[in-house]
Amino acid sequence: AEHRYRIHTVPSVTPVLKFIQQHAKQDDRAAYSTLNMGAGFAIFVAAADAQRTVDVAHAQGIEAIVAGAVEAGPKELLIDPLGIRFGNDDLQLR
């Protein structure tokens, strides 16, 4: 079955990435597709384990947040706070 990735919380964008975005004249959609805008890595765990996973990361000195969820739906990535949608063809979603 297909699924969508829905992001409800985005990490803060670093000043250097904002600088690059501004000088490259990229809108948010282009910047998130090419620069990742500091999002780093994502791991996927059961919703019931999400906060515990964040707690373990923090205990190891790793910054982590519960940023979103995987849900049934067409294969796409939605970054809700920014109103950005990427389809499967945009990012080669798995």
| Residue-wise pLDDT tens digits, 27-58 | 999 999 988 888 888 999 999 999 999 999 99
Look at 34 and 66; give whichever has higher pLDDT.
66
Residue 92 above 80 pLDDT? no
Angle at 74 between CA 72 and CA 77, to 5 degrees: 90
pTM given for the model: 0.86
Under the banding of pLDDT at 50, 70 and 90, the label for residue 7 is: very high
What DSSP string describes 3-43?
EEEEE---PPPPHHHHHHHHHTT--HHHHHHHTGGG-----
The predicted model gives 71-79 an average pLDDT of: 94
In degrees rounded to 5, what are phi and psi of residue 23?
Answer: -80, -20
pLDDT value, residue 83: 97
User: Which amino acid, 94?
Assistant: R
